[in-house]
Structure 1
Amino acid sequence: EPPPPVRHPLRNCDTCDRGYRGPDPRNCRDCRELRQPTPTAS
């Protein structure tokens, strides 16, 4: 039987103050995606 999935603690995003469960201790998924640079077309 596989182990149970990881359940991250409830946190508040430092950027938008949204409650979320995730591995990043500072930012929710939406804010983390906005901060990542987008690849430029060559």
Structure 2
Amino acid sequence: MNQPVVGVLDYGSGNLHSACRALEAAGARVLLGQRWADFGGAA
């Protein structure tokens, strides 16, 4: 089974670390970026 990839956009609202850890615990591979371009235009 393929591991889902989830992009998380850091726009400065806080508690990003906990959100990313929860996604990883659920089996996702987390990509963290500060701009849309950091994700290579993924949709």
Structure 2 length as normaliser, TM-score?
Answer: 0.22
Q: By percentage of residues, which structure has more strand?
A: 2
Structure 1 length as normaliser, TM-score?
Answer: 0.23
